[in-house]
Structure 1
Amino acid sequence: MAPQRRGAPKAPEGSGAAERRRPSSVKSARAPREVWSKWLRAAVLGTCATLAALLLWGSLGGDEVGTEVLAHRGEVLSGRFMEVPCSEDYNSHRRFEGCSPTRCGRGVSDTVITRDEALRIRSIAEKGLALGGSGGGASILDLHSGALSAGKHFVNLYRYFGDKIENIFSEEDFQLYRDVRQKVQLAVARAFGVSASALHLTKPTFFSRINSTAARTAHDEYWHAHVDKATYGSFDYTSLLYLSDYLEDFGGGRFVFMEEGANRTVEPRAGRVSFFTSGSENLHRVEKVRWGTRYAITIAFTCNPDQGIADPAFT
């Protein structure tokens, strides 16, 4: 789902006191270079998938393919689900009974997260991204690893800002983040008929901020078609929580499921959750943002407990 990024040089360590007060997830986080080198390896695999996706897109006519709106910005959906045949992507990965996708598709709901919750969690993204930001149009904030876009690179905001980070985020921020993640996880489990306890949060799970600034590097080019499981093998189920409104906060930036005959779009609105199985049955892209700023959270789940990550938390 995300623009693929390069690793960042290791930022300076905070003081010993800062280390003691830093979120527990930071104590176990690897240096930014190590974290993002793994992302870079995933990007190589993703590049291959992207090339295949672009060839398919071209064979389907690209933007000339008809478009149907799966979820209009003016609708309030209690739940809309479209089932599609599962791809063979999952066969090359370890399968987990009762969790690995056997029913594939994509869904949208406006009743999982309230608009107020969405705007409150957007403020977390705004506070964090105010500390950095990409020189191109797409910026990333990962509260789990601490990765933050900074120009053409990344820094670990917990290490880089040390104890000053406690002046930016609060325990209430992290509790809201955990509550929202749990609600999304329950919604995904219900939609696909699996146990919520069988799903494990996986990386990368992150905030994104996209605007119309011209891309500075290839990693700012978020609009290319791709398959999540080809890019990140741990992904089994992908979800997006939108934190801003299409045609009010930004233009362009719709989410597009690409398929033969007619692409299907999701128009973001604050509080809307879109979710789907992560294989090539859900080839997708994001339209270029033409104006304004688009905020969202990508929340990914795996069935493999060895690839799970913990929620960020203050200690």
Structure 2
Amino acid sequence: MVADNATRRSAAARLASVFVAGCLLTVLQVQAVLVAVFAGGFEPRTCGEAAGVVGGVLVVTAVPGTALLVVLGAAFRPFPPSARDRRGRWLWAAGVHVFGTVCVIGAVAAALATRRQGGLEVDHLLFPFGGACHALAAAFSLPGARARTASLAAAAVLAGGWSYVVWDANRTPSLGEWIAANGVDRALLRVGDPPPGYALDGVGAGEDGFGASYARPGAAGLHLSVERAGHDTRRTDRRGCPVPLGETVRCADDGGGRLLVRYGHEDGLERWELVLRRDGLVHTVAGDSSAGLPAARHVLSTLRPATDAELAGLVELPMRR
């Protein structure tokens, strides 16, 4: 019984050390790939070039990776029996390294094949996953059919868990999930009806505010932003007119509770904002053409809570996980 307990402790220590080594090797390989790809401004233009970079990195890191595992193979005895001599340790280490590397490559390929927003959204889980792959390969060399069966079962669970994580990271969330995950205040989600000839072109939201764009063919667009009163830290006078800072600022009462703010520059360019403060919110429509002022007044005069259909574009934006 004492010998069995010692063997179990040795196996657990070995698997834990292989897990840590696998995490480090995964970090090394990923960082080496990034350096090889982007050093000197090199950008692979084809899948073949990218595969060549990855293959070169794997070859270069194979020797130090295997050597690290050889050290571990000699550090804890008597497990596994096949790693008790030098040749056995190198074969064992090579097998663990190859399986772990192939496992990580498969995981990255699966994530990239279903990625959203052009990025790998599960990269923070890749390194422990690489460690788990290496540890499973080492566990498969444990003596006894029970150990191998447990290793295969753990591998199936790991593959299923990774598949779920990749699916969950790349699925399109519901609008409610997106709003809750990003900490958006629903009270800020307000839009005005599109003026004649305009269409709601896009929306964006965060913890601090909401924005909506209105587009019209052949004309400058408008942008509506909604924030909590006091969020804008710019200095203002009693009317709410911004204090000039490097540009000319002219303010005028636009009627209906609106404030028209015009910004001028030495080069003659001018932009404007139409501001409406109501119910603790600051609604601002911005543009750069005086022809858009009637349309901006229309937006502010028809403000209302945005519908789910108008907010549908939010779910295509990055979401916190």
Q: TM above 0.5, one fold?
A: no
Q: From the two aligned structures, give the one with the greater strand fraction.
A: 1
Higher helix share: 2
TM-score, length basis structure 1:
0.24
Larger radius of gyration: 2
Which has the higher relative contact order, 1 or 2, with Cα contacts under 8 A spaced 6 or more apart? 1
- Using the size of structure 2 for normalisation, the TM-score is 0.24
